[in-house]
C-alpha cells in the first residue's frame, strides 16, 4: 500500500510540476555584459503603445504554456551613482514589459520573471543595463527575466540621500533608529 501511494504521489507531482531552465547570472557576468551599471530610484513609469508577445520580445524563452501577450513599459530613473558607463548620466529610461490581460482560465507555467515599479516607494535599485539604439536601456538578463538585472538595495543606501539631507539641514539627527524614512 505504501508503495502504491508513493508511486501515485510521484506520478501526480511529475504531471503537475512544470518549469523552464533559466540562466543563473553572477554579478560579475552582469557587470561584464553591461553598458551601464547604476544605483537609481524610480521617478515615473507608464505603458507605451508597444504590444507584442513573449516569444517576440524574448525569443530565447521557450514558454511551457501559451505565448503571453505583453505591453511595453517605460520606467524613468533618477541616477544616484554610476558604477560603470557614462558618469554624466543623471537619468535614464528602462524599456521593459508587463503582462497584458490573459484570457479567462489561462494557466501560465514556466513564465517570465517580469518587473514592475512603484515610484511612490523611493526604493534605490542596482541596475545592470544595455543601451538600446533609441537611447533607452534594457536589462542585461533579457526581457524574459529582467529581474536578474535589477536588485533592490537595503539598509541606509535604500533610504535615499540620508546623509546629504541631514547635513544640509544641519541637524545630523535621525529618527532614533539610525534610519531616515
pLDDT tens readout for residues 124-151: 999 999 999 999 999 999 998 899 999 9
Determine the pLDDT at residue 54: 81
Per-residue model confidence (pLDDT) at position 97: 94
- The pLDDT score that the predictor gives to residue 8 is 59
Let me know if residue 12 belongs to a domain.
Answer: no
Q: Please check whether residue 174 lies inside any domain of the structure.
A: no
Q: What is the pLDDT of residue 23?
A: 78
3-class SS shares of the chain: helix, strand, coil, % to 5: 25, 30, 45
- For the chain (181 residues), the mean pLDDT of every run of 10, in chain order, is 61 51 87 98 96 79 68 97 96 95 77 89 95 97 92 71 42 33 24
Task: Tell me if 158 is assigned to some domain.
Answer: yes
Supply the pLDDT for residue 62: 59
pLDDT of residue 175: 33
The predicted structure's pLDDT at residue 32: 98
Q: Is residue 147 part of a domain?
A: yes
Asked whether residue 5 is domain-assigned, the answer is: no
The whole-model pTM stands at: 0.74
**CATH assignment at residue 125:** 2.40.50.120
Place of cell 530565447: 60
Residue ranges with strand state E in 28-159: 36-53, 69-84, 91-99, 124-131, 137-139, 150-152
pLDDT at 172: 39
- Does 4 map to a domain? no
Cell of 70: 505583453
114 vs 52: CA distance, rounded Å:
14
User: Do the domain assignments include residue 2?
Assistant: no
Residue 83's domain comprises: 25-169
Instruction: Count the domains in the chain.
Output: 1
Amino acid at each position: 500500500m505504501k508503495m502504491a501511494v508513493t508511486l501515485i504521489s510521484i506520478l501526480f507531482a511529475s504531471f503537475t510540476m512544470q518549469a523552464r531552465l533559466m540562466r543563473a547570472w553572477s554579478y560579475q557576468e552582469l557587470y561584464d555584459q553591461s553598458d551601464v551599471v547604476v544605483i537609481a530610484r524610480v521617478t515615473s513609469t507608464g505603458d507605451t503603445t508597444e504590444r507584442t508577445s513573449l516569444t517576440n520580445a524574448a525569443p530565447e524563452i521557450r514558454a511551457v504554456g501559451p505565448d503571453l501577450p505583453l505591453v511595453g513599459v517605460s520606467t524613468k530613473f533618477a541616477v544616484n551613482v554610476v558604477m560603470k558607463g557614462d558618469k554624466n548620466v543623471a537619468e535614464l529610461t528602462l524599456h521593459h514589459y508587463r503582462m497584458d490581460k490573459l484570457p479567462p482560465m489561462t494557466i501560465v507555467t514556466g513564465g517570465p520573471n517580469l518587473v514592475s515599479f512603484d515610484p511612490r516607494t523611493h526604493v534605490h535599485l542596482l541596475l545592470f543595463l544595455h543601451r538600446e539604439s533609441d537611447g533607452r536601456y534594457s536589462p542585461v538578463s533579457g526581457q524574459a527575466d529582467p529581474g536578474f538585472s535589477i536588485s533592490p538595495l537595503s539598509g541606509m543606501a535604500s533610504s535615499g540621500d540620508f546623509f546629504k539631507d541631514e547635513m544640509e539641514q544641519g541637524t545630523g539627527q535621525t529618527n532614533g533608529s539610525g534610519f531616515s524614512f
